[in-house]
A and B are shown apart, each in its own frame.
Chain A
């Protein structure tokens, strides 16, 4: 019953994987080191920064706060699973249009958090977007352009409205 090595079979971004791992391997490290899916970023490793957020059976969770064996038989989605070939996911495109990222370290976690959020809340207002973002730290953008990007993705603002920070805000409000 007690195991020091385990076989993990899981589906990530629609593809099946099978690996033998130590149970202490964090899901974040499993994705990055065992599966070479380095889009999932590792920031704080104690559940504060949100950079490692992935979807487990459709729900966003911290991959640094789960062990690899815990995704046995489950379906994982990472940032690599968002785009359709060369075509970016609409939220990714909106991030690009609104300059919703600078260094980009936090972006994968934010995209995974917000894609799940937008499925439940297709037309959020700004306050709801900011609350949905509360579990993800970004030290570059000040969050404003991230919020703009979400509003563009939901159709509440247009991509043309983006520019400087103030311009983007004005554009959003004029809509």
Chain B
């Protein structure tokens, strides 16, 4: 239960950190919050020879909205605590604010980082699914340069992403929410903060007449990657969303995902939870989308 020996570096600039990674490649690992990496090291499932601690990279500690576009930019040292409490984040992307309390426990959220969480790519984790729902773009940087990837292309499989060995995930950009956007996240876990048996994020956009112009439904603990139920969401677009549309989306979504089951929840139970949660998040997201607009004429069980 003690980590294997490693050499430790605490670079002060991103260039320094990337140069170290380029030099040591696979033998080196970035240490961000360490709330998944250090347990793996304690179990000796991970035994990096070189640990590059990025916590002193002040240039990655930023949270800002772009004045023109309204896009939210989160630097690589944005912690779960910030997602829960930062007023800039809560105003720009309330879905992050709503989701954060579901992620582990306060002690973990005080330390863990969003980018570390995404790079870890645990399909049971909430934030990867939320990134799909919010159409996040991720900036990867190496000594060779940088590239932006949509979240959809970033998550490849269980604990596997499109990040190359010499790259660091340095920034997440979230496009500004369109007027009339409503979002919601809900999950079912055995205790607050435990891994969810199923979690669902919904984003809906209503125009002034109440017509749904865009919808996304994404899931955690629902497959080898965060999952999007695209057909289910597409069925909501183009009209006013009635109770039967919500029910149909829930039935469609539970077939679209690919949960693998566990000792705590069978595949059938996970699909059942997905349908129930899909209905609930859609009602909540639609209600939020209509705040300040025409009242939605649908009252349903939540």
Contact = CB atoms under 8 A, between A and B. Distances in A.
22 contacts: A1-B20, A2-B8, A2-B9, A2-B20, A4-B8, A22-B5, A23-B51, A24-B4, A26-B3, A45-B2, A46-B39, A46-B43, A50-B107, A62-B35, A66-B34, A67-B38, A69-B8, A69-B10, A70-B55, A113-B107, A134-B191, A134-B193
B300 interface: no
A108 to B, nearest CB: 13
Interface in B181-200: 191-193
B110 A6 contact: no
Interchain residue pairs A-B with the least CB separation, the first 9: A135-B105, A23-B8, A46-B39, A2-B7, A45-B1, A59-B110, A65-B38, A134-B192, A24-B3
Contact of A24 (B5, B34, B53): B5
Give the contact-size bracket for chain A.
20 to 34
Interface in B108-161: 108, 110-111
Most buried by A among B8, B39, B104: B8
Interface string B15-59: 010001000000000000011001101110000001101010000
Interface of A: 1-4, 6, 22-24, 26, 29, 45-47, 50, 53, 56, 59-62, 64-67, 69-70, 113, 116-117, 131-132, 134-136
Interface of B: 1-11, 16, 20, 34-35, 38-39, 41-43, 50-51, 53, 55, 81, 104-108, 110-111, 191-193
Nearest to A42: B1
Contacts of B1: 45-46
A118 to B, nearest CB: 12
Given A70-B53, A113-B107, A47 B5 contact: no
Contacts of B38: 26, 47, 64-67
A6 B7 CA distance: 10
A29 B35 CA distance: 17
Contact of A113 (B5, B11, B106, B192): B106
B192 A131 contact: yes
B111 A134 contact: no
A134 B35 CA distance: 17
Contact of B39 (A29, A47, A53, A131): A47
A32 to B, nearest CB: 13
A165 B81 CA distance: 35
